[in-house]
Amino acid sequence: MTITTTDAAAQARPAKDWVQILARYREPSTRRSAMELVVTLGPFALLWALAWATMSVSYWLAFAIAALNGLFLVRIFVIQHDCGHASFFNNRKVQDWVGRCLGVLTLTPYDVWRRTHSIYHSHHGDLDQRGIGDVMTLTVEEYRARNWFGRLIYRLYRHPLVLFGLGPSYIFILQNHVPLGLMTSGWRYWLSAMGTNAVIVILVGLIIWLGGFMPLLLIYLPTSVIAATIGIWLFYVQHQFEETHWAKNDDWQLHEAALEGSSHYVLPQPLRWLSANIGIHHVHHLYSRIPFYRLPEVLRDHGELAQAQRLTIRESLASVGLHVWDEKLQKLTSFADVKARYGLV
């Protein structure tokens, strides 16, 4: 799989020069942001109510509606994501509390996630600063240095059933609810995690009290798990492609890593809307303060960015077969290629 890279104009412009250009798109519209909340939370609530009502008709129909609602929960998460980047409202307190409330729905303590995601953005693509907020990616040398058991564990971790099956449920249902990576960073992150957990417990208890365990099993969990799976998939393909960008600290440059290490995931319009333009990820990493609804403006005004790092759905499927970063070839490669080139299983 080969990702379409930048055209000549984009290649000629240093990545850091985009920062000043993109700064003009950073201002959010309070009216537009409020409208985006309404058109996202409204259908989400209606589908929840419809799924609940149809349980008396068909459990399968209720499950199908809940599964569809997972797409709206993905959109809710992206709005929470924009709040964390201070790009959704001009008033920081308002957007932080919006983010905290949405975090109850997305099973993601807002202040914990905002901090770890900020660390991730600050070090994305830096081989010497991995481990917080990213998909674990070993270099060929690191993979070769592991014993057979260590390589087996890594191969299991990178298996699709783990990455997109067990992984999303583990991250959103278990891992997110303890401030991992910030355990000794102060009470704020514990308060965020435990406060969100407490509200989730109350919400789940209310669901069980009103309808028993079936709404929990047929609506709440399917919506959450499907949204988590889609979210992990989007995050994966936005950075795990053949010609992505990784470098040692001495050679690493933030803006180059942002542009070259993030894809422009080209989706049909309905999916672009449901994913709140998160596929325009190279622009987001170049300037994270741009509201999601203004990202298409950037592509409209700057054709070189519209053509940069394009990854189609078909091409993205091939990225599942890429596992290890080859520093010599400067590309993400497969276990099969590592075996053929270096003789490792």
Domain boundaries, the chain: 8-342
DSSP symbols for 88-139: S-S-HHHHHHHHHHHHHHHT--HHHHHHHHHHHHHHTTBTTS-SSSS---EE
Average pLDDT over every residue of 102-109: 96
pTM of the model: 0.92
Ramachandran angles phi, psi of 266, nearest 5° = -85, 110
CA-to-CA distance for 213 and 102, rounded, in angstroms?
23
- pLDDT at residue 25 tops 70: yes
Percent of the chain with pLDDT over 70: 96
Confidence of residue 1 (pLDDT cuts 50, 70, 90): very low
- pLDDT at residue 9 tops 50: no
- pLDDT at residue 47 tops 80: yes
Using one digit for the tens of pLDDT, what is the confidence trace for 193-237?
999 999 999 999 999 999 999 999 999 999 999 999 999 999 999
Average pLDDT over every residue of 104-120: 94
Using one digit for the tens of pLDDT, what is the confidence trace for 263-284?
999 999 999 999 999 999 999 9
Q: Which range has highest mean pLDDT (25-29, 165-169, 171-175)? A: 25-29
CA-to-CA distance for 266 and 282, rounded, in angstroms?
12
pLDDT of residue 8: 44
CA-to-CA distance for 87 and 105, rounded, in angstroms?
20
Using one digit for the tens of pLDDT, what is the confidence trace for 73-85?
999 999 999 999 9
Distance of CA 162 to the CA centre of its chain: 17
CA-to-CA distance for 225 and 174, rounded, in angstroms?
12
Using one digit for the tens of pLDDT, what is the confidence trace for 204-216?
999 999 999 999 9
In contact, 231 and 72? CB cutoff 8 Å: no
pLDDT of residue 12: 59
pLDDT of residue 14: 83
In contact, 46 and 248? CB cutoff 8 Å: no
pLDDT of residue 100: 97
pLDDT of residue 345: 63
pLDDT of residue 13: 79
Give the chain's mean pLDDT.
92
Token digits for 56?
């008396």
Closest CA to 243 of 121, 125, 142: 125
Confidence of residue 131 (pLDDT cuts 50, 70, 90): confident
Using one digit for the tens of pLDDT, what is the confidence trace for 287-337?
999 999 999 999 999 999 999 999 999 999 999 999 999 999 999 999 999
